Amino acid sequence: MTEMMKAWVPDPGATAHIRLTEVAKPELAADEVLIRVAAYSVNRGETFLLEAPTPSWRPGKDVSGRVAAVGSDVQGYELGQRVVAHPDQAGWAEWVAVKADRVVALPDGLDDVTAAAIPLAGLTALRLTRATGPLAARRVLLTGASGGVGHAFVQLAAAQGARVTTIAANDERGHRLRELGAVETIPSIEEVTGLFDIALESTGGAALAAAWEHLVADGRLVWFGQASRSPATLDFFNWKGGMSATLRKFYYLDDPSPVGVDLESLVRLVAQQRLHIEVGLTVDWRETPVAIETLLGRRVRGNVVLRVEH
């Protein structure tokens, strides 16, 4: 008989386009680790996918928990060991099977809630610091800075000597970003003045063109999302700003570095208190639809994490 578990699945007619139901417990492949989920993080991109899901897809890319079983080809993990992982999908559940090279052991001082908020936001921020090129003494403009990626990027970039200006909609969020290392926060991109060596844009709409206008002539613009849901536009006949600038489309998994290696580095930085992971909301996993609506309504700063009760 197939063993069952509870999991969130896409449902276009339900609140936040998801419902909690029973599905088959994962069958473990030889190169996988089965994790008993303790917490998971909600990412904005996943909430967009819920609106038009592909067949067999379930949300869940950030999880923490304990090792419940290991595949025949897996070494280095013990049953009951606390871990954080970055599965391709299906982590909003009681159990999830993850490729072993995407699973990292957790030190005792790092709690499950904080750990669950590390993977996607942390990996994106870390890999953005590579996509930008050298950051020491560079002037950097970051839009959409109030989420988990923005908080992590500001800290990582500031630690490398960058002078980061962030776009934050309200004073509270701006103050927190300055505490984390931003040199300046501005309410909207329309109020930005001066030129920047690097701009990172993730909101879409007119913001991409506005960021381009604030680049130095040979600057670099990295596009990595459009949270506003409005397609970005750019007029190459507008000669303001980045006259000879470079435009790059960024996706964090295009980085050739192994996910597990980067995730282990992030875990180490967090454990050593050299990187702070901002968790703005933590609730029981049965409240996932409410948590999603809170996130999309921009009523939370940083990451949203759900605790799983078995």
Task: Specify the CATH number for the domain of residue 74.
Answer: 3.90.180.10
Residue 271 placed within a domain: no
Shared domain check, 207 and 154: yes
Residue 199 placed within a domain: yes
Confidence of residue 94 (pLDDT cuts 50, 70, 90): very high
**What's the total number of domains in the chain?**
2
Q: pLDDT tens digits, residue range 179-191?
A: 999 999 999 999 9
Residue-level pLDDT at 227: 81
Shared domain check, 162 and 98: no
Shared domain check, 109 and 16: yes
Q: Average pLDDT, stretch 262-277?
A: 98
Shared domain check, 99 and 129: no
Q: What percent of the chain has pLDDT over 70?
A: 100
Residue 267 placed within a domain: no
Q: Does position 40 have pLDDT exceeding 80, yes or no? A: yes
* Domain-terminating residue out of 253, 270, 291: 253
Q: pLDDT tens digits, residue range 274-290?
A: 999 999 999 999 999 99
Residue-level pLDDT at 76: 95
Shared domain check, 131 and 113: no
CATH of the domain at 205: 3.40.50.720
Residue 228 placed within a domain: yes
Q: Does position 101 have pLDDT exceeding 90, yes or no? A: yes
Q: Does position 165 have pLDDT exceeding 80, yes or no? A: yes
Confidence of residue 301 (pLDDT cuts 50, 70, 90): confident
Shared domain check, 85 and 67: yes
Q: What percent of the chain has pLDDT over 90?
A: 85
Q: Average pLDDT, stretch 40-65?
A: 94
Residue 88 placed within a domain: yes
Residue-level pLDDT at 279: 95
Residue 264 placed within a domain: no
Cα distance between residue 156 and residue 161, in whole Å:
9
Shared domain check, 17 and 92: yes
Residue 42 placed within a domain: yes
Q: Does position 1 have pLDDT exceeding 80, yes or no? A: no
Q: Does position 246 have pLDDT exceeding 90, yes or no? A: yes
Shared domain check, 83 and 39: yes
Cα distance between residue 39 and residue 81, in whole Å:
15
Torsion angle defined by CA atoms of residues 86, 88, 93 and 94, in that order, rounded to the nearest 10 degrees: -60
Q: Does position 29 have pLDDT exceeding 80, yes or no? A: yes
Shared domain check, 152 and 200: yes
Whole domain around residue 201: which residue ranges?
125-253
Shared domain check, 46 and 166: no
Q: pLDDT tens digits, residue range 222-243?
A: 999 888 888 888 887 887 899 8
Global pTM reads: 0.95
Residue 272 placed within a domain: no
Q: Which of 150-164, 201-215, 221-235, 238-252 shows the lowest per-residue confidence on average (mean pLDDT)?
A: 221-235
Q: Does position 298 have pLDDT exceeding 90, yes or no? A: no
Shared domain check, 247 and 135: yes
Shared domain check, 105 and 130: no
Q: pLDDT tens digits, residue range 120-129?
A: 999 999 999 9
Q: Average pLDDT, stretch 83-87?
A: 98
